[in-house]
Amino acid sequence: MSNKKRTREVQPDEVPNLEIPIDEVVEQTITDWTPGEKTPRYVVIRGGLRVSDKDYPDQSEPRAIAEMNFWRKVIDRWPDGTRVEIVQYDKKKHRIW
């Protein structure tokens, strides 16, 4: 048996590009927001208490739904009578210490 050396063809690394140019994304976010206007933020709560320090711009945000589903799995496994919800942020109830 002989050891034959194989030459590997190296393909250049490709940099992934955004489907939407950054200029359009920046312009869209800037034109939708006006100074002094506060956008509502949403948090995930369990039994009235905030479960993480993350907040979301919309209730239908996929990350918020994923976090809510995680806590629902925890409650299904170890039921304690609490409910998991995505609610609008209240600075008195949902502050982070």
**Over 70: is that where the pLDDT of 61 sits?**
yes
Q: Which pLDDT belongs to residue 85? A: 95
Residue with tokens 């490709």: 14
Residue 87: enclosing H or E segment and its boundaries? strand 84-88
Asked whether the beta carbons of 53 and 26 are under 8 A apart, the reply is no
Residue 32 structure tokens: 């939708």
Select the more confidently predicted residue: 35 or 71: 71
Q: Which pLDDT belongs to residue 83? A: 94
Identity of residue 48: G
* Domains in the chain: boundaries: 40-97
Q: Which pLDDT belongs to residue 23? A: 52
Instruction: Give the residue from 37, 44, 36 showing the smallest Cα distance to 75.
Output: 44
pLDDT, one tens digit per residue, over 72-86 is: 999 999 899 999 999
Whether the pTM exceeds 0.75: the reply is: no
Residue 43's CB: how many other CB atoms inside 10 A? 22
